[in-house]
A and B are shown apart, each in its own frame.
Chain A
Amino acid sequence: MHVLPNVFRSGALVSESYLRIGDDAGLAGDEQTAALRADVLLVPVASWGTPALLSRVPTNETAQRVGVFIQPADVDDDVLPKLLDAPVVAIDFPKFTDGRGYSVARSLRDRLGYSGELLATGDVLIDQIPLMVRCGFDAFSISHGPTVSALKSGAFKGLDHIYQAPDAGRQWQRRARSSDFAAVAGEPV
């Protein structure tokens, strides 16, 4: 199991705890306790929707959200439609140069109309976050120090001029807007 570092959403560092559990869902006692306490519990995509696994995941029924964690390299197209009712889908970027997550995000958001939280995890860096926002991500778990600082200070922003607006209406409405980054940094759009 793995506690996700620094999750930013709607322009702020959230206080919720995010816990990812591995393929082996037979949780030991202290792990069960941790899983119970997590605000957001992420299960592997291979196990998503599998009653056998979910029954073994101890859910805190008060407020806990149980979502799914995916590695873009391992996701087949027929899996994505099964994720639409997940409150959180975490897409991993094993390296920031591995751009598969952008396409998976667009498939979920634009093609399948996924409306829950789309969380980028892994090698998430400040210069790529505006691109992620434009592909539909709205939450980010970040371990890179300068990126955490930049997000906290709110000083960073992406390009205001974009030739495509796939996250917001027709692509060919070229427009300048206050910032792609607004969804993260919480600036007025």
Chain B
Amino acid sequence: MYRYDEFDHGFVQERTRQFGDQVARRLSGDLSEEQFRPLRLQNGLYLQLHAYMLRVAVPYGVLSARQMRQLAFIARKWDRGFGHFTTRQNIQYNWIKLEDAPAILEALADVEMHAIQTSGNCIRNVTADPYAGVALDEIEDPRVWAEIMRQWSTVHPEFLFLPRKFKIAITGAAEDRAAVLFHDIGIRIVKGEGGQTGFAIYVGGGQGRTPYVAQEIKGFLTKDRLLSYLEAVMRVYNRHGRRDNIYKARIKILVNALGIDQFRDEVEAEWATIDAPEVDLPAEEYARIAAYFEAKPLVAAEIVDLAVTERKADDPAFSAWVRNNVLPHRVAGHAIVNISLKEPGKIPGDASADQMDIVADLAERFGHDEIRVTYQQNLVIPNVAAADLIAVYDALVNAGLATGNTELITDIISCPGLDYCNLANARAIPIAQDIALRFTDQKLVETIGPLRLNISGCINACGHHHAGNIGVLGVDKKGTEHYQITLGGSPKDDADIGKIVGPSFAAEDIGDAIQKVVSTYLDLRLNQDETFLQAYRRLGMSPFKEALYGAAPAQAGDAALGAGTSAQNAQLQEA
């Protein structure tokens, strides 16, 4: 993984000092709250319902054991012993005191971490395929380019006061595991003519109240031109993106207002004028960064480990864990281990300090010192020898981290909801807990098969409900928490936005409704290989609607529920 050199260390230390000075000037009154707010957001400090939240950047989701231990230390010392892994592959602490922030940032700097640009209207932490560098279907490691983009976007002077936040994701694999089509810019490493690799660039994806799947703006970009091309996209957006309405300020609105063809023309015109040697990455700098991402020196071994085979035969829970959470690695005899932070009944994405320490220990002992955070709010140890799977599993069981539900119905993405967030209309966490606790029978969960269920507490869609095969959206219906169900979303290559089934459900009814949707799928699927999404696409909305509302046509009338109050609009500035 990337290691800071003297320059990176110097940068983070200097930035920490700069923020300390800004805090002091806020306290002295030299800076008004309005003037201070973007500065604090650009340093990851976000004002929530009950306290400050600090969102720490985990660049493209990659952590070392030492860094994970420091995150645990911070959780114990300055939070309530927990951290919350996010859909940006970051971690956030929900109970931070403003006066502790500089000390926390120093503790992060000690382990080559920071909270820069995790909030605010700037380019956020670049996310990537959590299996980068180890996946069987990888064309090329995206981490190198994610790190290059991290450096390029860090305190880029032109792009810190954009119309709105800006999210970039990159994958280098055949299968999209980074939801690139739901990003402001999505990047796929692809093979061009003659087998050389380059980038396919997508632009204008996003969720929120106006969800869009990103559109292709460039089918093949040679790798040496990435930064100048990104700079052209950013400049067109910065100059022409709307600033009069926060809900219309994301790049997706500009792209769709102009149409992808005109937007592409404007970017190309801008790109043609950029002095490329000044902006693009020289080969030697690429080589310097790429060297940090050399493959681990793993020794190929037998694919099947005998002890694992025996244990699987004797222990159904272990067998289920291997079946669902352990994926093949590109080096024979090794595995990618997914660690679920979705034990039914727990808060999705939360990890206790003790759990973080245990994952750090396992990564150090069995995982070549590397951990990944996934946008689905789970963890991964990407390099584990098959022979070590039993030891890893037993340790995870003791820590409550061995739920075998990766990409199954209980692997729920959920935003913090009204329990923490100012923007929320409704709680999300208790709904996630309620739904997950209805699916604790492992056999049933596996029978249902791959199913992405995502929950957002408001229309801003931090819980990715639009992209869920089943999405749950919290709405405020005459002062009570209600929940809409959407069906048919997908975050993958076949990206799509879920459609609302019908009127919303009260909190006490949403769990039953989800069970009805799932039962309908099980009753109507062609066979056990037809996934929920495939069945929905074949069957359409009708059978699900009928199961939920009866044969009579469902009433309309929920459409306007997502509209925010002006107080919420003000708070959205934080998001």
List chain A positions with a Cβ less than 8 A from chain B: 72-73, 77, 96-100, 102-104, 106-107, 110-111, 125, 127-128, 130-132, 134-135, 146, 159-164, 166, 169-172, 174-176
List chain B positions with a Cβ less than 8 A from chain A: 7, 10-11, 14-15, 18, 22, 25, 30-31, 35, 38-39, 121, 151-152, 154-162, 227, 235, 238-239, 243, 269, 273-275, 277-279, 281-282, 285
Which residues of A are found within 8 Å of B35, using beta-carbon distances?
96, 125, 127
Q: A170, B18: Cβ atoms under 8 Å?
A: no
Provided the pairs A97-B121, A98-B243, A102-B161 are in contact, do residues A170 and B278 lie with their beta carbons within 8 angstroms? yes
- 17 pairs, A vs B, C-beta closer than 8 Å: A99-B159, A99-B160, A102-B158, A102-B159, A103-B235, A104-B239, A107-B273, A125-B35, A130-B157, A135-B158, A146-B30, A160-B10, A162-B155, A163-B156, A164-B156, A166-B157, A171-B279
Most buried by A among B7, B11, B15, B35: B35
Question: Which of B31, B39, B158, B279 is the one whose CB lies under 8 Å from A146?
Answer: B31
Q: A163, B274: Cβ atoms under 8 Å?
A: no
Which residues of A are found within 8 Å of B274, using beta-carbon distances?
110-111
Provided the pairs A110-B278, A166-B279, A171-B278 are in contact, do residues A102 and B157 lie with their beta carbons within 8 angstroms? yes
Q: B11, A103: Cβ atoms under 8 Å?
A: no
Most buried by A among B274, B275, B278: B278
Given A131-B160, A161-B10, A166-B278, 15 more contacts at CB 8 Å? Answer: A72-B239, A99-B238, A100-B238, A102-B157, A106-B235, A111-B274, A128-B161, A132-B157, A146-B30, A159-B14, A161-B7, A163-B11, A166-B158, A172-B282, A175-B7
Instruction: Report the bound CA distance from A99 to B235 in whole Å.
Output: 10
Which residues of B are found within 8 Å of A73, using beta-carbon distances?
243
Q: B158, A171: Cβ atoms under 8 Å?
A: no
Most buried by A among B18, B156, B159: B156
Q: B39, A127: Cβ atoms under 8 Å?
A: yes
Provided the pairs A104-B239, A161-B10, A169-B278 are in contact, do residues A97 and B38 lie with their beta carbons within 8 angstroms? yes
Provided the pairs A161-B11, A171-B278 are in contact, do residues A131 and B157 lie with their beta carbons within 8 angstroms? yes
Which residues of A are found within 8 Å of B14, using beta-carbon distances?
159-161
Which residues of B are found within 8 Å of A104, using beta-carbon distances?
239
Nearest 9 CB-CB pairings of A with B = A99-B161, A161-B11, A134-B157, A146-B30, A131-B157, A102-B158, A103-B238, A163-B151, A111-B273
Instruction: Report the bound CA distance from A166 to B162 in whole Å.
Output: 18
Which residues of B are found within 8 Å of A166, using beta-carbon distances?
157-158, 278-279
Which residues of A are found within 8 Å of B227, using beta-carbon distances?
171
Instruction: Report the bound CA distance from A44 to B31 in whole Å.
Output: 31
Which residues of B are found within 8 Å of A107, using beta-carbon distances?
235, 273
Whole-angstrom distance between the Cβ of B119 and the nearest chain A Cβ: 14
